[in-house]
Amino acid sequence: MTKQEEVINASQALAGLRVLEYSQFISGPYCTKLMANFGAEVIKVEPPGGDEARCHPPFFQDIPDKEMSGLFLYLNTNKSGITLNLDNEMGRIMFRELVKQADILVENNPPGTMKQYGLDYESLKQENPGLIMTSITPFGQDGPYSRYKSYPLNTYHAGGEGYCLPGGTGWQLNPDREPLKAGGYIGEYDAGTVAAMVSLAALLKREFTREGKFIEISQQEVLLSLMCTELGRYSDGWAESRATRWFPIAGLMQCKDGFVQVMPFERRMWNGLVNLLGDPSWSKDEKYDFANVYGRPTKGTGITGVGGRLQIQEEVNNILAEWVLQHTKEEIYYGAQERGTAVGIVCTTEDLLKSKQLQARQFFIEIEHPKVGKHPYPGLPFKMSSTPGQLKRPAPLLGEHNEEIYCHHLGFTKQELIQLREAKVI
């Protein structure tokens, strides 16, 4: 770390905190990335072959290179990176020495891995009683599923949210459509966010007790905790599904240059949407009153019966779909906004990079990486008045900081590092 970086770090909320990360892919690295954004010194420990995220696309210029994974580059900004082989006894000894100097250890390996290495919390706290160790696994450290291998698809659906997706219009026409996982790796990021929050809570508690803590995070339970409404309704005998999470009209709709989310779920919003359409003559018909258009079908016949109300909603959706296709995202968005109607633009990457709002808040930060050059990165998800966060360092090259960490922190010589490298310890 340069002198300039030390000065910048000193003004940040977590300045002086040392975090050791032995994690791969997303949940653990995102947890420590959040801490690094607050100014914590994060040392990322990778096996000699590297974090598996290095092998995940997208790659810069589509070149499959371990230093060019967009996922890895994003998740590991602000960190120092070292390599260490924990299958080697010397590697485990060196890891213990690093743990002695750490405040927090974050790992997301399969249950039992750290104990197999003799690096479980009970062993490590003997030498560092104040250590906070946070472990993230798909299903927790115990229970019948604890040893199951899992991928983001499995853990996301184990959390229940996928059963309610996709929502929106059209479920009546295809009620048996298969459930969907939310886009990207949102479940992994959720687990990482919770892990960061609870690790810092344990850190705060340590200020009073001087004692460390072992924290275990179950990704399934993190996702279940976000399903509070659905779980609560089930206790009342209501099983939520994509059919009950419906948008009887509008919802996600394709327009002239992309997609918008139209949600006129209040009478004033429906009236505003109708006005945006030019107050067409059909809207004067009583059957197109908000109560009929947005209401749920009830038993019986007539307008409020299942057949009648669904027919009205289908007619309205056909009219809206035709109108929306003739207008751009901004025409619909700003027109609805002026009339107090809820509409959201489905933003593309280009939309976000050109967003006047994000530009005004200087959200995107340019970082220069030795292999991929200078590019804009998503910035910090918070702003602090007197202890501002910083996004200043690119993700480390594989083993980039071996000399800095092992020589300056553990006292090895450069010649000893060469020997360790030859012995495949680092």
DSSP codes of every residue in 78-107: TEEEEE--TTSHHHHHHHHHHHHT-SEEEE
Domain 3-227+362-422 and domain 251-351, same fold? Reply is no
Q: What is the CATH number of domain 3-227+362-422?
A: 3.40.50.10540
Q: For residue 102, what pLDDT is reported?
A: 98
Q: For residue 414, what pLDDT is reported?
A: 96
Give the integer Cα–Cα distance in Å for 367 and 118.
38
Q: Is 149 helix (H, G, I), strand (E, B) or coil?
A: coil
Residues of the chain with pLDDT below 70 are: 1-10, 167-175, 243-246, 296-307
What distances in angstroms separate CA 71 from CA 53, 82, 395, one per listed residue?
A: 6, 18, 10
Residues 120/126, Cβ–Cβ less than 8 Å = no
Residues 306/298, Cβ–Cβ less than 8 Å = yes
Burial profile 225-251: b = 16 or more Cβ within 10 angstroms, e = fewer: ebbeebeeeeeeeeebebeebbbbbbb
Residues 249/317, Cβ–Cβ less than 8 Å = yes
Q: For residue 168, what pLDDT is reported?
A: 63
Backbone phi, then psi, for 12, in 5-degree steps? Answer: -95, 160
Residues 322/256, Cβ–Cβ less than 8 Å = no
Burial profile 261-296: b = 16 or more Cβ within 10 angstroms, e = fewer: bbbbeeeebbbbbbbbeeeeeebeeeebbbebbbee
Q: For residue 296, what pLDDT is reported?
A: 62
What's the one-letter identity of residue 423? A
Residue 425 structure tokens? 């310890």
What distances in angstroms separate CA 234 from CA 167, 171, 230, one per listed residue?
A: 18, 21, 6
Q: For residue 305, what pLDDT is reported?
A: 53
Give the integer Cα–Cα distance in Å for 25 and 151.
11
Q: Is 258 helix (H, G, I), strand (E, B) or coil?
A: strand
Q: For residue 210, what pLDDT is reported?
A: 93
Task: Quickly tell me which residue has 């990482």 as its tokens.
Answer: 192
What's the one-letter identity of residue 395? A
For the chain, which residues make up each domain, given as ranges? 3-227+362-422, 251-351
Q: For residue 252, what pLDDT is reported?
A: 86
Q: What is the CATH number of domain 251-351?
A: 3.30.1540.10
Residues 136/104, Cβ–Cβ less than 8 Å = no
